[in-house]
């Protein structure tokens, strides 16, 4: 079971728009999530984290607590703003692409299950090069942020957005639900990026630290690897901080290192009867 955040923050939905349609959206989200809804001008002082419904997007705002996270721009899923083509963008995504098995001048594009989708950035990088991606996110607020980001990205890069199939709920349950399918119907690659382990200095971005406030530390991450190894037909890829131990289970066969991150690769060999 997912571990609750260390000290559960007080959450609310905030209406930050005069558009009557957005007010309805905010009320619907608040009802679905079981959180109170307030207009921005009447935000109670004890709210720690707010899901703000603005005129054009959903964003998470930290109102109290860790000073490094309070204020500034809200955290949103901003997929079409990701640089996936120029020099820095390409080098940033390169270890991920290598890890899932994509090679220069080779048209192979695996079907990927991203079982820990978060704000969808890695899913977007994979979809931008042509992979069909199924993306599972279990935290309902993060799922709403990602659904909103994907909807906005659809207007800007519809081809990439259409390759991502967003599925709410737990990645392990999803993998269990497709366990009976033939290998041809299962994902080639299962990609895992649970929250980085705490207690060590990692280059965790502000957006991930904000998500951690609402979704906790993903202390159950090891069960993802076990399910992924049963589900993928080619390989499992796990993103980790460069110096963190791998997830519990068999050791990775190969590791692709970036500056502060690494991608652990676990090849999967199917029994002959399964092929
Ligand atoms: C570090 S973030 C992933 C970031 C993502 N790779 C990106 O590019 O935006 C981890 C996310 O995985 C989600 N998560 C963790 N375990 C999960 C599970 N078993 N099923 C679905 N989502 C899970 C958490 O709720 C969190 O949003």
Residue owning the nearest CA to atom 10 of ligand 1:
194
Rounded to the nearest whole angstrom, what is the distance from the C-alpha of residue 15 to the centroid of ligand 1?
A: 26
Kindly report which listed range (90-104, 157-171, 230-244) carries the lowest average pLDDT score: 90-104
pTM here is: 0.93
| Topology given in CATH for the domain delimited by 11-62 | 3.40.1630
Q: Once rounded to an integer, what is the mean pLDDT over residues 45-69?
A: 95
Is 217 a pocket residue for ligand 1 (Cβ < 6 Å)?
no
pLDDT at 264: 98
Q: Would you kindly state where each structural domain of the chain is located, as residue ranges?
A: 11-62, 79-274
Report long-range pairs for 195-202 (Cβ below 8 Å, ≥24 apart).
Answer: 195/221, 196/240, 196/241, 196/244, 197/241, 197/244, 197/245, 200/241, 200/243, 200/244, 202/241, 202/244, 202/260
Structure tokens at 121: 């950035």
Mean pLDDT of 171-196: 96
Q: Which of 170, 164, 160, 163 is nearest to 147 (CA)?
A: 164
Nearest of 265, 140, 88, 103 to residue 192 by alpha carbon: 265
User: Does domain 79-274 correspond to CATH entry 3.40.50.150?
Assistant: yes
């Amino acid at each position: 079971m997912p571990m609750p955040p260390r000290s559960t923050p007080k959450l609310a939905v905030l209406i930050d728009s005069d558009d009557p349609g957005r007010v309805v959206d905010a009320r619907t989200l608040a009802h679905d999530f079981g959180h109170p809804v307030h207009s921005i001008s009447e935000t109670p002082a004890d709210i720690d984290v707010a899901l703000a419904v603005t005129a054009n997007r959903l964003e998470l705002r930290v109102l109290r607590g860790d000073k490094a996270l309070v204020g500034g721009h809200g955290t949103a899923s901003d997929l079409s703003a990701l640089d996936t083509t120029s020099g820095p963008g390409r080098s940033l995504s390169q270890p991920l692409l290598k890890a899932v098995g994509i090679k220069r001048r080779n048209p192979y594009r695996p079907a990927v299950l991203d079982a820990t989708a978060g704000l969808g950035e890695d899913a977007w990088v994979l979809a931008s090069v042509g992979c069909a991606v199924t993306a599972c996110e279990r935290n309902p607020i993060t799922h709403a942020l990602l659904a909103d980001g994907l909807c906005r990205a659809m207007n800007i890069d519809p081809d990439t957005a259409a390759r991502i199939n967003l599925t709410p709920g737990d990645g392990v349950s999803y993998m269990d639900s497709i366990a009976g399918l033939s290998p041809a119907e299962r994902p080639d690659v299962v990609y895992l990026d649970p929250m980085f382990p705490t207690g060590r200095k990692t280059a965790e971005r502000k957006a991930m630290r904000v998500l951690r406030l609402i979704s906790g530390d993903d202390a159950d991450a090891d069960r993802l690897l076990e399910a992924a190894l049963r589900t993928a037909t080619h390989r499992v890829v796990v993103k980790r901080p460069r110096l963190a131990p791998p997830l519990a289970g068999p050791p990775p066969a190969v590791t692709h290192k970036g500056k502060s991150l690494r991608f652990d690769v676990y090849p999967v060999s199917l029994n002959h009867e399964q092929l």
